[in-house]
Amino acid sequence: MIRPACLAGSAAGYVMLVELAVGDAYGAGFEYCTPEFVADHNTLASYVQHPTHLGLSPGDYTDDTQMTIAITELLLSGKEWSPSTLAETFVEVFQRDQRIGYSKRFRALLHASATGADLRAQIVPGSDRSGAAMRTTPVGLLPTVEDVLHRAQVQARVTHDSPAGVESAQAAALAVHYCHHRLGPTSAVATWVDQQLHARGGQQQWAQPWEGPVDARGVSSVRAALSALASTESLQDLLRTCIAYTGDVDTVATIAIAAGSCAIDIGQNLPRHLYGDLEDGPYGRSYLAELDQHLFARYPARTAN
């Protein structure tokens, strides 16, 4: 796999964070847009200005990537994986780089919180929406299924402590685990995730193909991402497929591209201009590439030589 010059120094397979941010930023231009708008503009020719979310410029990523950065930084820090350290990291990462993309209520909670304790005191964490799933993909790099499931569950319960919220986060992380550790063909990822979670009491139908618009629930976003992964053979096709669903497509693309970036049987062919035009401020493309290097050095594939 050859990545573009703007990622020089990033070894093949070591740019999951950069590529999921590409998926997030590209998808942000299409979130809940009309089918006609999506059909006209989903060409991968460039990032697209959302017709109503004018505060987000083409190439800017959203809360999906920012919260994934928080999860990654905590994984790399060696700190205790606990609700308190997770909440503290969510607040710290938001406060240093306040941006739009969050739900109105959750952004207000983050904005009003100076510490993780502040956030935990204010939040009612029973949501089944996609926030816990969209950020948990780096957890999938961990070496064992049990560790992936445990850490995905702990982080989900901080904000999405519902059966569907937790299980969707675990499913998103397992998809990355399956691809990163070369556990089988990517076409079988949804079936494998379904088997792993059903063996542990899971209630969702992860292997059932998704059709139609994607709503804000975590189960919907992850099922759509798994369906796209199982049916495409390249990152270009994967990204277009995620956006073509319509609805909450930036989250679908974030989850799917994170796993697809690690898959050896998916063509790693995202257009070079999408890398080059991805935001590159203090926490943009270059920072993500640096995190990728540390993350994959810490958690190499089990089959790596």
Q: What is the mean pLDDT of residues 47-58?
A: 95
Could you tell me the fold of the domain covering 5-297?
ADP-ribosylglycohydrolase fold (1.10.4080)
Asked if pLDDT for residue 39 goes beyond 80, the answer is yes
Closest by CA position to 252, among listed 205, 220, 274, 289: 220
What pLDDT is stored for residue 3 in this prediction?
53
The set of residues, in sequence order, having a beta carbon less than 8 Å from that of 143 and lying 6+ positions away, is 181, 299, 302
What are 161's two structure tokens?
């402590």
pLDDT tens digits, one per residue of 172-231: 999 999 999 999 999 999 999 999 999 999 999 999 999 999 999 999 999 999 999 999
Residues 6+ away with beta carbon under 8 Å from 104? none
Domain regions of the chain by residue span: 5-297
